[in-house]
Chain A
Amino acid sequence: MMRAARRWAAGLLCALLLPAASPQAMPAVLPPLPPLSVQQIAPGVWVHVGLIGDFAADNAGDLANLGFVVGSRCVAVIDTGGSRQVGAALLAAIRLHTTLPVCYVIATHMHPDHLLGHAAFRTEPAEFVSSVHQGKSLAARAAGYLTRQASQLGAQAAGTAIVPADRLVDGEMVLDLGGRHLQLRTWRTAHTDNDLTVQDDLSGTLFTGDLLFVGHLPVIDGSLRGWLAILPILRTLVHGPVVPGHGPPGNGSEPFQAQERYLQQLATEVRAALKGGRTLAETVAQSPAPTGGWQLVELYHRRNVTAAFAELEWED
């Protein structure tokens, strides 16, 4: 155990200390990316739509939707992308539209495509905000996330680091940006155990994080039952633009229904397999491709079946 602990500890410390401990590894020579393309979906509410795909050298981890909301006093950033490079390109995009300081950097959950850009915001007087549950879950995964990101992005990974949150949300919290407020809300385990949504009071814009996927197959890294249970509640919050974690922003509730259909279909299929006495391996092997025109089925569907099986077998 001790040897194992040291080995994983070393990996984790690597993740946390390496950027600080070796200045020569900082991206001094890495050319910055151009400012991210952003669209204003409501006054003062900006969104960058990420690519639908996996980490790769040619995308620098620009996979998640990112946003920023501009108040009269300061700016809040919602997710920062999958590398310091992408975070810096988001900050460059913010600077094209406002000179106000960034006072909050909010992570909607622990996944690397959403928060590995945090380090680019250390130059701002920002508080880093997350669900109270994020720290432990991210700690268990940080070393792996950084190792994999580095191997998939190559040079584009330079400077990426885990930035611990210093303001934790447990339930609800309101952040004042001057003239507008953001309502932050944590949820029971659903997409992950540390999902957090952000809603702007002026425009009603709802940033769902990965509690809503559009086009990109939903990914279960928390609880299928929890996710299905909160979807109806989440829908009641919609009274303005909706920014999903992946896929195009929209207004209506159709994307919620499409996602719910997939998750419900999955639950039905896995419950039938359990009732029929099939094993996990058999159930994964026999799972039919989902309907609904989702992207990244090959990457995530069998994984979802696995997660659903391991959860639902405890039901009775």
Chain B
Amino acid sequence: MWNLMPLMRRFMPALVLVLGSAASLAHASDPEAWAKIRASLFQDRPIEEASADLLRLDAPNRAEDAAVVPIGIHTGIEQGSQRFVQKAWLIIDQNPSPVAASFTYTPDSGRADIETRVRVNEYTLIRAVAELNDGSLHMVSRFVKASGGCSAPAGKDPAEAAASLGRMKVKVDGVAEVDKPVLAQLMISHPNDSGLAMDQLSRNYTPAHFVREIQVSYADRRVLTAEVDISISENPNFRFYFVPHGAGELSVEAIDSQELHFRTAVKLDPGTNLAASVRPAAGS
């Protein structure tokens, strides 16, 4: 592999001046940033402004803690076999890696809703784009102000996060009913390191180490696949729905950028009261 560091060192000051001035001009609504993201994800496909009853994006007006900004994507339609959301993207225009996540759903997802937490550094537009099974695209966006003070989109206790790497919790709250959407929460202990921090003395980068994919199935039927990135907060956290058609196991597999696999599962018997249930994750 080519060592680009000497080159980067040599040319970075010039590059930095260019990027630096571009960054200072970049405002909340940065049509150029979105144009690039749009071209790479959706090419020239038409994107409709979503009606409120189809798609809603919940985000705070201000990122209180830049490292942990709660985001919710809520859809107004039930996942039927005729009409359903097959994919949704969460996009943060001004983040270094703007596509925070894409979520692939099935009719067994029940509702194509998701709540998670992201890192937000600058004033930015956050977008949710939903693709229906007819291929149509629908978008909502929200403006989020950066946080004040010394808030930063980095982990608070990376040593702790690394020490409990891969520990997972899955919770299903309340009473699950057959054929009705059930809300579940998934927590993964992981530093989700961006790999973008440079050691000031060695000028080397710490390697990226982040959760890149999550697969959730119930009774061996896929209910959610998430491709995620470094914009997701340390200790990735997701709330999502699935539909149980009978007794089964809700199983989760998370795969990180170093190809570590983490698995956990919880058994369900719809109709019985489901207290929070946890089983230690098995790493491989």
* Chain A residues engaging chain B, CB cutoff 8 angstroms: 1, 3-5, 7-14, 16-18, 21-22, 54, 111-113, 133, 135-142, 144-145, 147-148, 151, 162, 164, 189, 192-193, 219-223, 226, 277, 279-281, 284, 299-300, 302-303, 305-307, 310-311, 313-314
Q: A137-B154, A279-B70, A299-B149 in contact; A1/B208 too (CB < 8 A)?
A: yes
Minimal Cβ-Cβ distance residue in B for A147:
B23
Q: Is the interface of B mostly helix, strand, loop or mixed?
A: loop
Return chain A residues, CB-CB under 8 Å to B234. 310
Minimal Cβ-Cβ distance residue in A for B154:
A140
Minimal Cβ-Cβ distance residue in A for B200:
A164
Return chain B residues, CB-CB under 8 Å to A220. 156
Return chain B residues, CB-CB under 8 Å to A192. 156
5 additional contacts, CB 8 Å, given A9-B12, A17-B12?
A: A10-B16, A137-B154, A281-B115, A310-B234, A310-B235
**A164 lies within 8 A of B60 (CB):** no
**B24 lies within 8 A of A151 (CB):** yes
- Smallest beta-carbon distance A165→chain B, Å: 8
Q: A4-B230, A18-B20 in contact; A189/B198 too (CB < 8 A)?
A: no
**B159 lies within 8 A of A189 (CB):** yes
- Smallest beta-carbon distance B254→chain A, Å: 16
Minimal Cβ-Cβ distance residue in B for A283:
B70
Return chain B residues, CB-CB under 8 Å to A5. 96, 195-196, 205, 208
**B158 lies within 8 A of A136 (CB):** yes
Q: A8-B194, A307-B156 in contact; A145/B96 too (CB < 8 A)?
A: no
Q: A279-B70, A281-B60, A303-B147 in contact; A9/B158 too (CB < 8 A)?
A: no
Question: How far, in whole Å, are A164 and B197 apart by their CA atoms in the complex?
Answer: 14
Return chain A residues, CB-CB under 8 Å to B164. 314
Question: How far, in whole Å, are A312 and B194 apart by their CA atoms in the complex?
Answer: 23
Flag whether B117 is at the interface (Cβ < 8 A): yes
Q: Total contacts A to B, CB within 8 angstroms?
A: 169
- Smallest beta-carbon distance A219→chain B, Å: 7
Q: A222-B157, A303-B151 in contact; A139/B200 too (CB < 8 A)?
A: yes
**B64 lies within 8 A of A303 (CB):** yes
**Contact for A284 among B64, B157, B160, B205, CB less than 8 A:** B64
B interface bracket (residues with beta carbon within 8 Å of A): 35 or more
Return chain A residues, CB-CB under 8 Å to B157. 189, 193, 222-223, 226, 311
Minimal Cβ-Cβ distance residue in A for B71:
A281
Instruction: Name the interface residues of B1-50: CB closer than 8 Å to any CB of A.
Output: 8, 12-13, 15-17, 19-20, 23-24
Question: How far, in whole Å, are A281 and B117 apart by their CA atoms in the complex?
Answer: 10
Contact mask for chain B residues 174-218; partner A; CB cutoff 8 A; 1 contact, 0 none: 000000000000010100001111111100011010000000000
Flag whether B153 is at the interface (Cβ < 8 A): yes
Return chain B residues, CB-CB under 8 Å to A9. 8, 12, 196, 198, 205
Return chain A residues, CB-CB under 8 Å to B187. 313-314
Return chain B residues, CB-CB under 8 Å to A113. 150
Return chain A residues, CB-CB under 8 Å to B156. 189, 192-193, 220-223, 307, 311
Return chain B residues, CB-CB under 8 Å to A226. 157
Return chain A residues, CB-CB under 8 Å to B259. none
**Contact for B12 among A10, A54, A138, A148, CB less than 8 A:** A10
**A223 lies within 8 A of B149 (CB):** no
Question: How far, in whole Å, are A302 and B66 apart by their CA atoms in the complex?
Answer: 12
- Smallest beta-carbon distance B120→chain A, Å: 11
Question: How far, in whole Å, are A189 and B201 apart by their CA atoms in the complex?
Answer: 23
**Contact for A13 among B12, B154, B201, B233, CB less than 8 A:** B12
Question: How far, in whole Å, are A54 and B150 apart by their CA atoms in the complex?
Answer: 9
Q: A144-B121, A193-B159 in contact; A136/B68 too (CB < 8 A)?
A: no
- Smallest beta-carbon distance A152→chain B, Å: 9
**B150 lies within 8 A of A112 (CB):** yes
Supply 16 A–B pairs (Cβ within 8 Å), ascending by A. Answer: A1-B230, A10-B16, A13-B8, A16-B200, A17-B13, A18-B13, A18-B16, A135-B201, A139-B200, A221-B151, A222-B157, A223-B156, A226-B157, A303-B65, A306-B65, A310-B65
Return chain B residues, CB-CB under 8 Å to A193. 156-159
- Smallest beta-carbon distance A63→chain B, Å: 9
Question: How far, in whole Å, are A280 and B149 apart by their CA atoms in the complex?
Answer: 21
**Contact for B97 among A1, A135, A140, CB less than 8 A:** A1
**Contact for B96 among A8, A151, A277, A306, CB less than 8 A:** A8
Minimal Cβ-Cβ distance residue in B for A164:
B200
**A111 lies within 8 A of B198 (CB):** no
**Contact for A141 among B152, B230, B239, CB less than 8 A:** B152
- Smallest beta-carbon distance B156→chain A, Å: 5
Flag whether B148 is at the interface (Cβ < 8 A): yes
Return chain B residues, CB-CB under 8 Å to A11. 16, 19-20, 23
- Smallest beta-carbon distance A35→chain B, Å: 26
Return chain A residues, CB-CB under 8 Å to B246. none
Flag whether B227 is at the interface (Cβ < 8 A): no
Return chain A residues, CB-CB under 8 Å to B159. 133, 189, 193
**Contact for A138 among B17, B151, B160, B200, CB less than 8 A:** B200
Minimal Cβ-Cβ distance residue in B for A133:
B159
Which 8 residue pairs across A and B have the least CB separation, nearest first?
Answer: A8-B196, A4-B97, A164-B200, A140-B197, A140-B154, A21-B13, A139-B197, A141-B152
**Contact for B64 among A4, A302, A313, CB less than 8 A:** A302
**B19 lies within 8 A of A14 (CB):** yes
